[in-house]
Amino acid sequence: MTSNQQQADYWSSDPGRKWITFENELDIVFEAVNTALIARANPQPGENVLDIGCGTGATARAFASHLEPTGSITALDISEPLINQARSRADESPVTSHYHLVDAQNEQIPDAPFDLATSRFGVMFFSDPVVAFTNIRNHLKPGGRLVIAAWSNISGNPWFEEPRNGAVNRLGPMDISDPHAPGPLGFQDIERVTGILRDAGFQSVVGEEAEVILSHPGPLERVAALASNIGPAARVLKKYQGGPQDIEAIKNYVQDKFSPFETPEAVLIPARLNFFFGDNSL
């Protein structure tokens, strides 16, 4: 069994905790991803739904409103601070909701079987994705479905590209590594991921690239600060032990690059995502 301890440590330390610090703004920026995910997953009243790698729980809460009155949601995460934060907001869910500290790859998932397993950006970090998706599939009902959202290629994704460039310019390069290694961009290759899902036993597997528009009410400086504190900039900052002055320099770089996305109403950043679908055959 390959361990995900490195991910548990990462998401329980400073970079993960920043998702709590910036929770409200991240929920706004990534709301468009929830909308796109829900449109594709088509959750139904009464269904039992699993949210994998739920972070602070925004996607679980968004799905919950579609499951009323008798459905239920189970959300899991490998990071204790993040699952505790999600659990602290459980009373906002209109249906029964459960939050568990679980490694989705290697552990039993409580409250199974599920009609639907979903995830917004929580499934690209597994050390052994075939084992992980086999485990997830084994917790679905016969005929249950998987619908997940991940980032596509970094080029065409300014939300990733500009903070990464700003951080690398300021601090230095990341190690050249496998582009498919566990990480936020690990599911950029649709063919590879559909192969993983098939190897994990899913049927009718499909991958689809689609554009969504990330929207933040602004001002631009806030958006730049947000993008400079999480994602790839956070990884570079962690590697070089960057401090507040480095974050400020990265933020200024990103603010400049994001200025074409500023409109009178909001900052609108185009993003390219990969959605993946699979069925647990009857």
Ligand X SMILES: C[S@@+](CC[C@H](N)C(=O)[O-])C[C@H]1O[C@@H](n2cnc3c(N)ncnc32)[C@H](O)[C@@H]1O
What residues make contact with ligand X under the rule CB under 6 A? Answer: 4, 7, 11, 30, 53-55, 58-59, 76-79, 82, 103-105, 120-122, 125-126
| Three-state secondary structure call for residue 163 | helix
Residue 55 or 232: the one with the smaller Cβ distance to ligand X is 55
**25: exposed, middle or buried (C-beta count within 10 Å: 0-12, 13-18, 19+)?**
middle
Residue 185 or 224: the one with the smaller Cβ distance to ligand X is 185
Least separation in angstroms between CB 200 and ligand X: 14
Least separation in angstroms between CB 36 and ligand X: 12
Residue 210 or 249: the one with the smaller Cβ distance to ligand X is 210
Least separation in angstroms between CB 59 and ligand X: 5
Quote the CA–CA distance of 73 and 93 in Å, as a whole number.
9
| Phi then psi dihedrals of residue 33, to 5 deg | -70, -40
Residue 202 or 282: the one with the smaller Cβ distance to ligand X is 202
Angle at 148 between CA 145 and CA 203, to 5 degrees: 40
Least separation in angstroms between CB 264 and ligand X: 28
Quote the CA–CA distance of 266 and 93 in Å, as a whole number.
28
Quote the CA–CA distance of 166 and 240 in Å, as a whole number.
14
